Amino acid sequence: MADKKTAQGGALAGREIIIEFHPIGTYMKVVAMDVKTLTEAATQGPASAGEKVLEYNALKRLEYVMKKKGLI
């Protein structure tokens, strides 16, 4: 499932981000993609952690990747 949203805080504030959740057994793979730069980052964790926690981790990973590439 994919969810398109605008980031609320941090270095990604105001950016349009697509979030995808892919269940893989007892784990959930979460992909976050910045629409403007087409940069994406993926994380995974236990599905029992909840979508908010997994989404937060994916957004933080995307922020890290974009900072490392000098995009933000």
Structure confidence by residue, pLDDT tens digits, 13-64? 989 999 999 999 999 999 999 999 999 999 999 999 999 999 999 999 999 9
Amino acid letter for position 61? R
The whole-angstrom separation of Cα 71 and Cα 48 is 33
Q: Are 48 and 54 in contact (CB under 8 A)?
A: no
Tell me the domain boundaries of the chain. 2-68
1-14 pLDDT per residue, tens: 677 777 777 889 98
Tokens 């629409």 identify what position?
Answer: 35
**This prediction's pTM:** 0.90
Tokens 């933080």 identify what position?
Answer: 60
